[in-house]
Amino acid sequence: MERRTIRKTIKIQGTGLHRGQKITLHLRPLESGIVFIREGIRIPATPESIVDTRLNTTIGSGGVTISTIEHLMSAFYGLGITDCEIEVDGDEIPAMDGSALPFVQHIKDAGTKVLGKVQSVMIPSLMRVSHGDAWVEASPGSFCIEYGIDFPEPAIGKQAYTFSGNGFEAEIAPARTFGRLSEVDMMRSMGLALGGSLRNAVVVDGNAILNPEGLRFQDEFIRHKVLDILGDLWTIGRPIVGLLRAYKANHSLHITLAKKIYALIKA
């Protein structure tokens, strides 16, 4: 695969999902990996930099953190961006519409530049992490993601999706983050979802979708889970050659697997 960066600086503004603050991003060309900057602190987007996986993926260094990087990272995966500098004037990435599509569109408008070649990481044997009945694993084979979820709410229920690496922009990037109405008060008591609304998330209540426009896909929920794992695993910094399977997983399990795979590269 080719290493790739953006061709020119991109300015993106929006509201953070969890803190609810107005955020400005400046994405700039770079030739040394994906690096976030806040308050002058440079934080590489690697598994080693991840400090929190509570309902999002947060990186940090020297007491400075940047949360909710997974949708932007997923857009980087979809467009093959391996190198970029992202300066943030707040503590999280803007939610935009709750999906990766706005980031994809901004990057495509700016254009990209090839830097050279990047070596893939081959999965040599079964690697599995689990918590209760939730799990995620990687095994030898061609790249593919098989993901399954099972929620008690009839509006979500059981869904499964297989992504073989093609059609990211049309089939995965538009899928929005989602939440259950019953969880909103709990999340806000934790200082999360303060900027959440029906403009940047799908909200369900039992068998009802509360968003007036409805869903973008009948199975938008599972597509967003695929979006999340792609963004979380892109912190490895190179493509994975292997079969990835997940069931009822979350950012914590995604990142635990990413750290195991990253250890292979460092070794």
Known catalytic residues?
251
Residue 44: Cβ within 10 Å count: 16
Q: Residues 75, 57, 245, 127: what is their CA dihedral angle, to the nearest 10 degrees?
A: 120
Contact 41, 64 (CB under 8 A): yes
C-alpha triplet 57, 61, 65: angle, nearest 5°: 45
Contact 168, 81 (CB under 8 A): no
47: DSSP letter: G
3-state secondary structure of 67: strand
